[in-house]
Each structure stands twice: as C-alpha cells, then as structure tokens.
Amino acid sequence: MAGSEDDEQRDSDTEKPSPVANRSLWDVMRADEAEVSGESEPAEPGDTEKVPNEAPRPRGLWSVIEHGTDAATEANLSEANLSEDAAAGLEADENVEFATADESDADSIDSDGECGEFDSASETDDDSTEAMAAPDAGPLPFVTQEERSGRDRSDHRRVPSHGNTALLLGSVSVVTSLLCLLSLAALRILPTLIGVAALIYGCLGLAAQRRSSTKSNVGATLGLGLGLLGIFAGPLWLNEFGDRWRHEQTSRVVTAHLQSIGSALDAFYNEHQRFPAGGSFVDSSDGFPVGMHGWMTDLLPHLGYQELATQIDHRRPWSDPVNADPMSTRVEPFLTPGTPYALTATGHAPAHFAGVGGRVETEFGTGDLGIFGRNSQVTHDDVIDGLSQTMAAGEIAQTIPAWGEPDNWRSIGPGLNQSPQGFGNASDTGAHFLMADGSVRFLSNRTSLHTLQQLSTRNGSERTE
C-alpha cells in the first residue's frame, strides 16, 4: 500500500507541469495571437525550439507603453520581469494554481470569436492612443519655429505693401508737381502733401525691411526718391520754370499786340501825316470840355475792325447810349493775357494799354510826354528826342480804362508798378512799352525813374543809350 501510494504520488508529480513551463501574466500579455488563442502547444522538455530573434509586437496598451518608453524604462521592465519569474519559482504552489487558472482561461477562449474581439479592441485602443498622443507628436521648439516663420512671412508681406504704397504716392507726387507750372498757388501744395506721405511710407517700408532681414526693398527706396523729387521739383524748379514760361508767353502776346498797335499808328500817320490825337474834346454850351473819342478808336480800321469803326457815331461822345454797343465790344489787340478781362465800371470794354502823354517838369525844363495829348497833332518833327527814344504807349495792370475813353493816357509817375495810375504788368515785374518808331521794349522794375522820365518825353533833349 505504501508502495502504491508512493507510485501514485510519483505519477501525480510527473503529470504536474514544471514551474519553468508556467507563464506569468507579463508573458501572457506579450504573447502573440497564436499563443493567446491556444493554437501552439507547449514543447516537450527535451525538444529544442528555435527562439525567435525578435519578440512579437505587443498589442493594446502595451504597445503604447513600449513605444513611449526609452531604453532605460525597457531595462527596468526587464528587471521587473526577471524578479517576477524569480518570485514565481520560490512560490511554486501559488504559481501552479495561477498557471492552472491561466490555462483554463486560455482553453476557454474561442480562436475564431474571442480573439477577433480582442484584436478589434486592441486596434481601437491603438487608434485612440495614437489620437491622444497626436498633440504631443511634435516638440515645442518646432512649433515655436513655425510661428516665427509665420511672423517672418507676415513681415515679408508687409514690406512690399509699404514699398508699393510709397512708390505709388511718389509717382503721383511727381505727376502732380507739374501743376506748379500753373499760376494757382493752391495747386502747388498738393504735390508737397503727397510727397510727404510717400516719404512716410518709404521709411516704414525700409524699417520693415530691416526687421525682416530682407536684402532690399526697391519700392520703398524709389518711393522715397520720387517723394523728394515731387516735394522739391515743383516749388523749386517747375514753379520757377512755370513763371518764366508764363512770362515768356505773356511777353510774346503783349509784344505782338503792341506791334499791331504800332503798325496801326504808322498806317494812321501815313494817311493823315500825324499821330492820332490822344483825345478829341469839344466845348459844351456851358464852356466845359466834353470828351468825344480816344486815340484807340481812330486805330480800329487799321487793326482789322473796320465794321466796328463804322458802328461808332463820332458826332456823339463815346459814352453816349448810341455808342454803347460798339464801345462794349472786345478788341483783342487792346488786351494782355496776364490781366483778367472785365468790363469797366461804366460797362464798356477795357483796354490794358494806355498812351504816354501829358507834361512833366525835368531838369531841362518842361517837357511833353509821349505823342498823345488833348486834341494833339504830333508829327515826327515834334519828337526831338527821336522816335526810338520816345515812349508812345505802355502796359497797365490797374485803374483799367475803356478803350474808347478820350483821356486814355498817363505819365510815368513814381515808377513802374509803383502807382495804380502808372504803368506796370500783372506779374509785377515791369512793363512793356511801344516806342514811337514801332519797336517794343520791356523795362523791369529795376529801371531807374530818371531813365523812365527821359524815355517818356519827346522834346526833353534827353538821350539814352
């Protein structure tokens, strides 16, 4: 009996699996799908198996643990695994019970059903784990670098914006600076304001260029240059050029008109052998002189205004209502482009020229001015000083008379552009004068009064070089 009991005890000990064959929970979780499903059978103790070079890829949560740990963590896990195996060898009874329960659970798992659900759950865990780990996939320095790159790109976008704006404003400033050629002072401010705006945007563009470390900003540079050109080109160059151009154009027209008047004087002189009277006057019944017509009226037929001359009734004064229509007619040779056109206070057409006439006291005595006077009949012989040295008519800009007035002549007075009753032009630079020989001269404001008086008299025995 004792021997049979010993034999049964020996057989039961033989049937029990060795502790080495038992697997811990860690080994079960790291087993591949075939081991979990129970497809592979345990090898005999004497059999030799080929140990795979690489452990099967863990699934589920352990895949995250394995990929999320570094080498040091894996070493710690390996040491923990060895410790568990050692503990399992010391507690054989408990390991047997644990292995038995583990084997019973493994046998109860259906390879076709339960394992599929396990795999699906593992894949779901993998997807969710990857989704949770996605925000931490990139390191923080990379995000900061990307944000910095975005700011750099933003700076690059702002640089050409300021540069293009500066270039556009500078171009507009240069174009509008051409307005300085005109005489309107208000238009000269516009290119200056636009040029200042171009300078501001150009400086902003260059500052943005330095912040973004770009190589060049051509738009901002050109905008600055064009802005400066628009600011200074208009007031300094174009304004002066415009004034000079306007003066030349006005001078050309005034000279042409005075030459036309001089030709008419020669024609009248050849016809009557005298210059026209400065003004014809008759005595009224009360003994007061009444002005009839002026010297310009006598020149109308020789200026191409024959029809207008025939409409004037020379038996009636120039201001009589009968002569209102012809005396209100515009006559171009009597006008200058520099002086605004406007009817006189009496409603008659104006004249921007006046004859030189009257009398003046000089160092040589009393002298007669010019060739015009009341009921005058001056001939070439009366012009002792010489036709080329005697003024006949001049340009006026103030106290504008009607061209039909019989007393449309005046003296030099205190100088050019010095008196409303004197001679001068609208630009306040001097005056053009018609000499008795038909030539035209321009005398500036710097001309001395003494020279002007010498040129204004016809019999003062003065000579000017």
241: burial class by Cβ within 10 Å (0-12, 13-18, 19+)? middle
Mean local confidence (pLDDT), 100-114:
43
In this predicted structure, what is the pLDDT of residue 31? 55
Report the first-to-last Cα separation within the chain, whole angstroms: 173
Domain parsing of the chain, residue ranges: 19-34+56-73+86-94+107-127, 155-249, 274-456
pLDDT at position 355 = 96
- pLDDT above 70 (res 438): yes
- Structure confidence at residue 22 (pLDDT): 56
Comparing 381 with 30, which gets the higher pLDDT?
A: 381
CB 398 within 8 A of CB 420: yes
Higher pLDDT, 173 or 57: 173
pLDDT digits (tens, 9 = 90+) for 266-293: 999 999 999 999 999 998 888 888 999 9
Span 366-392, average pLDDT: 91
* Residue of 293, 289, 300, 290 lying closest to 278 (CA atoms): 293
pLDDT band at 81 (very low <50, low <70, confident <90, very high): low
What mean pLDDT is predicted for residues 303-322? Answer: 95
Give me the residue label for tokens 């010489």: 386
* Residue 121 pLDDT greater than 50, yes or no: no
Stretch 148-158: mean pLDDT: 50
Q: What is the helix (H) or strand (E) element at residue 441, kind and residue range?
A: strand 440-444
What pLDDT is recorded for position 194?
Answer: 83
User: Of 377 and 212, which is predicted with more confidence?
Assistant: 377
Chain mean pLDDT for the chain: 74
Report pLDDT digits (tens) over 396-424.
999 999 999 999 999 998 999 999 999 99
pLDDT of 119 above 80? no
Q: Hey, what are 315's tokens?
A: 């038996």
Judged against a pLDDT cut of 60, whether residue 346 lies above it is answered with yes
* pLDDT computed for residue 400 by the predictor: 95
Query: Rounded to whole angstroms, what are the CA distances from 350 to 248, 259, 381, 446?
Result: 23, 19, 32, 28
Is pLDDT at 385 greater than 80 in this prediction? Answer: yes
Residue 154 in this model has a pLDDT that exceeds 70? no
DSSP 362: E
What number of other Cβ atoms are within 10 A of residue 234's Cβ?
A: 27
Give the least confident one: 7-11, 181-185, 321-325, 357-361: 7-11
Pull the structure tokens for residue 386.
């010489």
Phi then psi for 443, rounded to 5 degrees?
-115, 125
Lowest mean pLDDT among 38-52, 167-181, 421-435: 38-52
Span of 10-24, 176-190, 203-217, 446-460 with lowest mean pLDDT: 10-24
pLDDT at 113 over 50: no
Lowest mean pLDDT among 70-74, 116-120, 231-235: 116-120
CA dist., res. 397 & res. 98, Å (int): 128
Phi and psi, residue 395, nearest 5°: -85, 140
Burial bucket for residue 93 (CB in 10 Å: 0-12, 13-18, 19+)? exposed
Tell me: pLDDT of 366 over 90. Answer: no
- What tens digit of pLDDT does each residue of 175-217 get? 777 777 676 665 667 777 888 888 888 888 878 777 776 656 6
Q: Which of 350-364, 419-433, 444-458 bottoms out in mean pLDDT, i.e. has the lowest? A: 350-364
Q: Long-range contacts for 305-309 (Cβ within 8 Å, ≥24 apart)?
A: 305/331
Instruction: Report the alpha-carbon distance of residue 41 to residue 333 in Å, rounded.
Output: 131
Confidence of residue 93 (pLDDT cuts 50, 70, 90): very low
Query: Three-state SS string across 307-328, please?
Result: HHHHCCCCCCCCCCHHHHHHHC
120 — phi, psi (to 5°)?
-60, -45
What average pLDDT does range 210-229 have in this prediction? Answer: 76
The alpha carbon of 78 is separated from its chain's Cα centroid by a whole number of angstroms, namely 74
d(C-alpha 238, C-alpha 258), whole Å: 29
pLDDT at 203: 84
